[in-house]
Structures are given as structure tokens and as C-alpha cells.
Amino acid sequence: MQTLSCDEYKWAGLNLEEGEVRNNKAAGVLEPLVSKIKSLKFATEAAITILRIDDLIKLDKPPEKPSEDEEGRMS
């Protein structure tokens, strides 16, 4: 793996065919910032929704064991 300078680091990307880090600008691969912002926003909203599910699920109380008096009456 090569070491990237600070200027090259902001253009760093992955070449998945070669399995290497590359300079995406030099390779002609430019990604719009808007798509990255939207992806991050949707991922954040999904995580928040998953965490809120906890508030919506209501667990039933486990059945209580009958007391000794109740056991005698049942038999």
C-alpha cells in the first residue's frame, strides 16, 4: 500500500478491480457531494428509526408463578 500525501488524501478512493487505494481524481472518478450527503442522511435516519423501534415494542409480562395457596386450590 502506498503512502498518500495530504493533497492526494482528499482524492483517495478504492480501485476494487486491483484492490488498491488510488487517486480518484487522476483516474477520472468524481462523485458528487450531494449523493454522499444524501446517503449519510438516509443512513442516519435508518439508524434512528431502528433505535426508536425499542419504544414501539411492548413486551408481555412473564407469567407469575402461582403461590402455594393457589397450588393447593388447583389440585
- What digits encode the pLDDT tens for the residues 8-29? 678 888 888 999 988 888 999 8
Q: Quick one: pLDDT at residue 65?
A: 76
| Beta partners for residue 15, in sequence order | 20
Question: From the first residue on, what is the mean pLDDT of each consecutive set of 10 residues in the chain (75 residues)?
Answer: 67 88 89 87 94 68 68 58
Which pLDDT does position 73 carry in this prediction?
A: 62
Domain residue spans of the chain: 6-56
Check if the beta carbon of residue 22 is closer than 8 Å to that of residue 11: no
Phi/psi of residue 57, nearest 5 degrees:
-85, 125
pLDDT score recorded for residue 8: 63
Q: CA 75, CA 71: separation in Å to the nearest integer?
A: 7
The residue count of the chain comes to 75
Look at the pTM and tell me if it is higher than 0.75.
Answer: no
Q: Give the span between the Cα atoms of 10 and 21, in whole angstroms.
A: 12
